[in-house]
Structure 1
Amino acid sequence: MNESAEETKIEWREWGEDAFEEARNADKPVLLSLSATWCAWCHEMDREAYSNPMVAANVNDSFVPVRVDIDRQPRVRERYNAGGFPSTVFCTPDGDLLTGATYLGIDGMRKVVQRVRDLWTHKGEDAARIPRSLREDPPVGDLSPDIERLVAGQLDEKFDDQFGGWGDSEKFPLPRTAEFALKREREQALASLSAVRKHLYDDYDGGFFRFAEGRDWSEVHHEKLASTNAALVRAFANAYLYTGDEEYRDPAERTVEYLTATLWNGEAFGGSQAPGASDDPNVSEYYALGPTDRETTDAPAVDRTAFADANAMVADALLTYHAYTDDERARTYAERALDYVLSELVEGGEVTHFDAGNEADERSESGLLADHAHLLGALTTARQVTGDEAYLDAAREVADYALDRLRAEGDDSGAFVDGPREGPGLLDRPLRPLDHNAEIADALTDLALLTGEDRYREAAEGAVAAFADAADRFGVQVAAYATAAARLCRDPLVVEVADDAGSDLHRAALRVADHEKVVIPGVGAESDEQGTAYVVVDGERSEAVTTPEELSERVAELTE
């Protein structure tokens, strides 16, 4: 439990069956406080509402209060998120939902506490509900090019041509959406990335902030997450691939420096950096300082916990950047992060979310879909960039675990569930998250092409088709899903390189201007084909080429 929670007057319990058993025995509702080390408003609620003696007395008397770290308990986060963080959620002793809110001040907390007490007194369990995502099967449909078309149509509809980005309220960087747009609405993608660079990038310390509240990118929230920064390194690197413009390479390069310096914990990448202390959660005192004053001020705290999914995302991004630039620092740190995850967090293909070390009161979950999806993506990228077969062997193990253990028994939808179907509260109900199904489908598509094994492609098709009937209702935020669908409906460009990884021909293949392609190094390298490459488009294999120039010409001929 973090220091902010420990300094409140609430008698917090850890998430677990013991807390729910206590609630059942006492016939009290549970108050779940979903928080994060990087969340300024979470710390503000701890300082104000949860440190108020009257509020604390009412909470301690009428509820069993449980503090949840959303980075360490992602399955709890996905089931109980009330629309942002902090999430203040009231539920029954069995974990069913009563009501919830985000940030509450002292007066708001008093009112909600009284309302929930009255609700529990008069209705009890009858007031509870189960979220629709845990009650209903996914909207299974047909895998079709219409999925890509429908989401691509949202790009124009939601693009903000005045300020850049997509949407007309708060602005998130949406790196996966930018990548989707790079092949379909490139000017929108570049304009959006330029806006992200202008408004969310920290020019002094490096790294990107999480989001801005205003449509014009004002009221920036200054937390920096490893996952956000990784995804933006990859998006800016891919923009550089298409344009060759230093405007997109520079922020990627400087963010690599931020990740490998500020967030590196000596073995892997830490999860986040807090926004900095302030009396006003919307204004970070540290980031309001000029460069000279920052030099003499302690930087905001870093959570150095190495999470499997975040480290995989960083490794994937750094390898992508290296592929386009030959940056050896990026490659070295990517390989170190993958080595850490594979040696410390993976056993028999099962991925553990993080290493809890010797902390007796903390245990990490394992077998989470997000960890498997992102690690699989990083491993397939590593195979393409480095040529190392060991990464492909590891990818098979991780994928096979997901195929065997993360698809619900008797579920014909084809969707993957987010983790083990067990645990207190709502954890025993299967959740099929769209975004992580898209990520694993995309990675399985790469794995199928790298191994030649159709079973991986079939699993990818099932994961995408599981949500296809709702594609007309999806927004640009889930463009990664449309990317996965597009790559399954129309085979991605493949470049087979009968040469060693790192050769001029291999490097040229990596730099073909299509970030959705797959590069397979070492194909036939032991034969008389050494030093050649082949372009595969829609299953048709071209004649051999032997130079980077010929490769570029052949790709242009076959894809125009």
Structure 2
Amino acid sequence: MTDDDATKVEWREWGPEAFEEARRTGKPVLLSLVTPWSGDSKAMDAATYSEPRVAANVNDGFVPVRADADRRPRVRERYNMGGFPSTVFLTPEGTVLTGATFLAVDGFRGILDSVRKTWDGKGEDAGSVPRALRNAAPTGGEVTPRIEEHMVEQLLAAYDDEFGGWGSDVKFPLPRTIEFALVRARDQATRTLDAVQTHLLDTYDGGFYRYATNRNWGSAVREKLTDENGALVRAFAHGYRYTGDETYRDSAAQTVEYLTTDCWTGDAFAASQGGDPEYYTLEPTDREQADAPPVDGTVFADRNGLAIDGLLTFAAYTDDERALRYAERAREHVVDTLVDGGEVTHYDTGTETGPSGLLTDQARVLGALTTSWQVQGEPGPAREIADWTIEHLRDDSGAFRDGPTEGPGLLDRPLYPLDTSVELADALLSLSLLTGDDRYREVAHDAVAAFGAAAERMGVEVAHFASTAARLLSPSVIEVGAPAGSDLHRAALRLADHESVVVPDADCRGEARVVTDGTVEGTADSPAGLEAVLTEDRG
């Protein structure tokens, strides 16, 4: 969180009391949505909110509310203006008057005057509801092979042949898109991995920066988020699995070391590290004498879920003991402290407990546990989390809400996020294949189908939607009749397509069985035999 004491604004906490004050006084709400890792959040505090006349104007004419976007994901999803800080002006009922991101003093004064005039002239009628919250559940559709075909077309259309990656402006690493491309457009995937490790990997301290502001991957934005780093560990591990390129393994290993040192709290993975450009542009010898940007030590369930998933995937391909050990410790901590009867709590610092039952936490922790089941034979409370999520967050349409429909502002309106719904569907499908329970596959199918009508409008940023649709249509499993850690199991992990599921301790004693959509394609009783079966199948 930014240092509220550094500003002269009298911030209220996000909650019903602030909105009740706005109704009682007839003032609009100024919501400052910030994150601990955002340099612009700190800069706006120092440059704008600390200016006495600006602060006086805010304190007198508005109800100023500050919310940590990392700790309140449902607030973030409803009011994010495209970056942090998000500066959002609301009616007392929580509808949006206007908003922006960073504002310097002059720009902020102008928007204050404009909002004041609009509010005085129209009142609540001036507010609007964001488009994603205006409608009920998604319109629905079908899961067809066309979804995958369309996404391959999008890869070809959006790929940057000169610099790698997708798009012609800002470059994000898009780890899930890389994974989709690894089995459908491998040259695109590997050239993007090359660009990401060349331009976004911090080769001194380890870890990946968030994104690059230029098409050629220049001018990196240097914050490091644990979930993004966990996802990139997984993408580079898959890249190593398909190509044998040791640089991909090295990049993943450096990031594992970063996550398990700088981002390790002693129990699990911390949330993020700030991106001070002055520090990160220092020469290595000068960095040794400088203070590194601060780390937010909050243990978030969703971010740990992605980190655990990434480390276990890397360990599956490499037998890396460090990755395995820290993933186990983080998993145990999250399960012991943040999971209760299948309901996942976003965070618990000991003095402050976050919201519970958020789709992002349910989905990502479930994903980590299905990977844990495949790699270590350790399912944890995977079924309980899946069952709780289905019971409490699923609508009659088959779509999933992002959390409980309660709270101030627009939190009482349901939101159906595509990306998190796909993460959940992906994990539910894996759970179905691990357990043999078709109900989870059916629920996953309905969750993806809920967005089927919009598939032709989707871009490469949501390639995970297409890979999950493809898995649903033709799920692939390697059932291993041997315990996790056995030679046959370890071979299956290394040889399986990364969109397949490996089931240890299956009922085919002493054999590995390759199954596609319920049909046995071949069996083997040794790693070499399994490789022969899979090679023949691929040929």
Deviation at 1:181, TM superposition (A): 0.6
* Further displaced range: 256-265 or 507-516: 507-516
Tell me if the contact between 1:271 and 1:304 (Cα under 8 Å) persists in the aligned partners: yes
The reply on whether 1:386 has 2:376 as its aligned counterpart is yes
CA distance in structure 1 between the aligned counterparts of 2:425 and 2:2, rounded to whole angstroms = 39
CA distance in structure 1 between the aligned counterparts of 2:164 and 2:121, rounded to whole angstroms = 50
Paired residue type of 2:440? Y
Deviation at 1:147, TM superposition (A): 1.0
Structure 1 spans left out of the alignment, 5+ residues:
277-283
In structure 1, the partner of 2:32 is 33
CA distance in structure 1 between the aligned counterparts of 2:3 and 2:106, rounded to whole angstroms = 20
Deviation at 1:531, TM superposition (A): 2.3
Tell me if the contact between 2:159 and 2:166 (Cα under 8 Å) persists in the aligned partners: yes
Instruction: State the SS of the aligned residue for 2:170.
Output: coil
The normalised TM-score by structure 1 is: 0.95
In structure 2, the partner of 1:126 is 125
In structure 2, the partner of 1:173 is 173
CA distance in structure 2 between the aligned counterparts of 1:139 and 1:207, rounded to whole angstroms = 40
Deviation at 1:139, TM superposition (A): 3.0
User: Could you say what the CA RMSD is over the residues aligned between the two structures, in angstroms?
Assistant: 1.0
The reply on whether 1:355 has 2:348 as its aligned counterpart is yes
In structure 2, the partner of 1:494 is 477
Deviation at 1:513, TM superposition (A): 4.7
Deviation at 1:532, TM superposition (A): 1.4
In structure 2, the partner of 1:296 is 289
What does residue range 541-560 of structure 1 map to in structure 2 within 5 Å?
Answer: 541-560=520-539
Deviation at 1:208, TM superposition (A): 0.3
CA distance in structure 1 between the aligned counterparts of 2:287 and 2:341, rounded to whole angstroms = 46
Tell me if the contact between 2:2 and 2:34 (Cα under 8 Å) persists in the aligned partners: no
Paired residue type of 1:233? V
What does residue range 246-261 of structure 1 map to in structure 2 within 5 Å?
Answer: 246-261=246-261
CA distance in structure 2 between the aligned counterparts of 1:450 and 1:214, rounded to whole angstroms = 43
Tell me if the contact between 2:48 and 2:105 (Cα under 8 Å) persists in the aligned partners: yes
The normalised TM-score by structure 2 is: 0.98
Tell me if the contact between 1:376 and 1:399 (Cα under 8 Å) persists in the aligned partners: yes
CA distance in structure 1 between the aligned counterparts of 2:523 and 2:455, rounded to whole angstroms = 40
Tell me if the contact between 2:338 and 2:346 (Cα under 8 Å) persists in the aligned partners: yes
In structure 1, the partner of 2:385 is 398
What does residue range 85-124 of structure 1 map to in structure 2 within 5 Å?
Answer: 85-124=84-123
Deviation at 1:158, TM superposition (A): 0.6
Instruction: State the SS of the aligned residue for 1:209.
Output: coil
CA distance in structure 2 between the aligned counterparts of 1:167 and 1:354, rounded to whole angstroms = 35
In structure 2, the partner of 1:456 is 440
Which runs of 4 or more aligned residues in structure 1 lie more than 2 Å from their structure 2 counterparts after TM superposition? Answer: 2-6
Deviation at 1:455, TM superposition (A): 1.0
Tell me if the contact between 2:496 and 2:502 (Cα under 8 Å) persists in the aligned partners: no
In structure 2, the partner of 1:204 is 204
Deviation at 1:67, TM superposition (A): 0.6
The reply on whether 1:145 has 2:145 as its aligned counterpart is yes
In structure 1, the partner of 2:361 is 371
CA distance in structure 2 between the aligned counterparts of 1:63 and 1:537, rounded to whole angstroms = 60
CA distance in structure 1 between the aligned counterparts of 2:513 and 2:81, rounded to whole angstroms = 51
* Further displaced range: 454-463 or 531-540: 531-540
CA distance in structure 1 between the aligned counterparts of 2:26 and 2:389, rounded to whole angstroms = 38
Paired residue type of 1:345? L
CA distance in structure 1 between the aligned counterparts of 2:90 and 2:522, rounded to whole angstroms = 64
CA distance in structure 1 between the aligned counterparts of 2:516 and 2:443, rounded to whole angstroms = 22
Instruction: State the SS of the aligned residue for 2:93.
Output: coil
CA distance in structure 1 between the aligned counterparts of 2:522 and 2:267, rounded to whole angstroms = 45
Deviation at 1:490, TM superposition (A): 1.8
Tell me if the contact between 1:417 and 1:431 (Cα under 8 Å) persists in the aligned partners: yes
Identical counterparts, % of pairs:
58
The reply on whether 1:437 has 2:421 as its aligned counterpart is yes
Structure 2 spans left out of the alignment, 5+ residues:
none
Paired residue type of 1:234? R
Paired residue type of 1:473? R
In structure 1, the partner of 2:510 is 531
Deviation at 1:185, TM superposition (A): 0.5
